[in-house]
């Protein structure tokens, strides 16, 4: 879910793939993963993918 969000997918697109409700997606992403640090998360994913 996080990778979809970081790649620019909308909440609706993520829901179509995962089956989660928009409310749940928003809560999961912002509370547990992105938490206002999407740039930091993007940088970390880039580093991880380069390994």
pTM score, two decimals? 0.61
pLDDT digits (tens, 9 = 90+) for 1-51: 888 988 889 999 999 999 999 999 988 888 777 666 677 778 888 999 998
Q: What is the pLDDT of residue 3?
A: 85
Rounded-to-integer distance, Cα 31 and Cα 26, Å? 8
């Amino acid at each position: 879910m996080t990778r979809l969000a970081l790649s620019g997918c909308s909440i609706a697109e993520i829901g179509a793939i995962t089956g989660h409700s928009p409310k749940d997606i928003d809560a999961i992403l912002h509370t547990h993963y992105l938490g206002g640090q999407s740039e930091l998360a993007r940088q970390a994913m880039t580093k991880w993918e380069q390994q």
